[in-house]
Structure 1
Amino acid sequence: MSHKPSTPSDRRTRVTVLVALAANLVIAVAKAVGGLIAGSPALLSEAAHSVADSLNEVFLLAALRRSLRPADSRHPFGYGKERFFWSLLAAVGIFVMGGCFSFYQGFDALRSGSTETHDGYVVGLVVLVVALFAEGASLLRALHQVRKQGGLAAGARDPALRTVVAEDGTAVLGVTLAIAGMALHMVTGRIVWEASASLGIGALLVYVAYRLGRDARDQLIGQAADLESSSRIRSLLDAQPEIDSVESLLTMQLGPDSTLVAARVDLVPGLDSEEVELVAVRIKRSVAHTVPEADQIFLDVTDAAIARRAARAEHADSRPGAHVGGPAATGERGGA
């Protein structure tokens, strides 16, 4: 199946995800080897975290490719929501593979007591320091792209980029906790510090997974465009001389760069059907120019006064004991 041409933003996001994937794969192997040598629960927790992040980056790469498929008869609005679905799977991966395994490592360390040795801990700390620099570099790359796309509000529309930023930010905090836990374990000889670090990493991952999953759920259900875009669209519609009033304005995000706009407007009296059609086409072009991501625009032209009278009549007829007469007139002059 052919794909739509990717945008510069899509290409930058793909590079950002590839950078994060490469960093996480290398770091996951290093953490796993170091954790097995040192017998460190905190380091093994971080290894599980990096493995989960690596799988999530694979999910995000699949989402980037699949979301570019063109619209068809079964999906007339395109496949932009693929990114939201795969981001939800990534959140589940962080929760199960990262958070739950970290909790297991922490509780297992507390149960085993102080039988742990410090053999290989120097190697483990070196691995974590290298991981901290690698994760930090990946985070800086993601934040740089967010800034190029217009800041946090604009970058938040792209679930793949949002997930990478969350993963890398969490990784930097997690590695810092692991370093602190291992260092305190070495100084005090008490494994409770390292077990606490593992539990802290687990709690951090569960929280991030919850936030990412909640955002993906909202977007899959159907989330409105941001307030700024909605306000710009409403202001543009209100400024049109042919529009008497904007009765309702509905928006929904279909993807990072795709938004559905449906507006019910009341036109000034005296326009014939040809004029209504020309006005509708011009307004749609103006909306698309003002908000480029608004690529699905629908206008419902109605006579607001007649529609309100019909609504009042329908409400009156629905009251107990009211006599229901013939069908009420809708007063719609047609859709565009």
Structure 2
Amino acid sequence: MVSSLTGLPMANASLLDEGTAAGEAMSLSFHNLKGKKTKYVVDTDLHPQTLNVIQSRATNLNVEIIQLPLSTNEGIDQLKEILSDVCGALVQYPATDGSLSVDNFQKVGELVHSNKGLFAMATDLLALTLLKSPAEFGADVALGTTQRFGVPFGYGGPHAAFFATNLKYLRKIPGRIVGLSKDRLGKPALRLALQTREQHIRREKATSNICTSQALLANMSAMYAVYHGPKGLKNIAARVYGYTTILADQIKNNSNHEISNGKWFDTLTVKLNGELADEILAKALKFNINLYKVDAETVSISFDETVNEQDLVSLVEVFTGNASFKFPEQLPTIAEGFIEN
């Protein structure tokens, strides 16, 4: 499933969470060049909790984490200036503010590859049912959490992470690799073919010191996908996009607030005009809706498959003051150019 959505031929089973998986992508990039290049570039639109884990992991490797706005031409120019010492780069797709500014992603990958580094993308499996795959941008690694596929929030965890890559890094990635073998009767059988990160196997050559995976939650996510199937997953994603777009249109047309991200899948970042974030949060809490406070004048809203019509009606009232909003008979369809861009 993960290989199909990311476009990369191999995926492990599984890692702890998205932050840990991102740390492993950084470590893989560093060790792939035998520690000769000590700078790792991450996009400024990376999830903050992911950035924190990467920075913690980088300390003991003596890797310097550099944040650049890689979705902008300015960020590309800054990357070129330090490229000779860069072992890899990581971008968030969609970004932490919900945006889909992907015009430079392929260029980032080409630049990093020209210096023998690795290009990684932290991404969302549900979004990938509609968006271009990381492989189409030239990514060497795709990673993220499978929480979107049937796993409860759990007040922050646990959530299984996925980690997909190319076959050439088979023996360098952390995690368990399941391979096809034969049983004693000669019939096809699946077995653990590689356990490269385990300290009890060739401890001195272990690729990682992280020995915890969320195998149960990975299986839950896999079964969620099996139950819904490719068409069902696309329908869920299209519904999430439709609900997000309805709210975005209401905010843009019927309030003084501004949508910061020009394109979106499931997340809107709203720059408030005339109201403070705490005021908006207090209004939303009356409907038992929890929003994310970015700063004093900015809030963020993320949708998933559990959002219903009443939730959307309530959110429209929170942001526009319109208590008589009627849910449209038909959801907005995927915007022209959304998949390509």
Normalised to the residue count of structure 1, the TM-score between the two structures is 0.25
Pair member with larger Rg: 1
Question: Quick check: which one's strand share is greater?
Answer: 2
Normalised to the residue count of structure 2, the TM-score between the two structures is 0.24
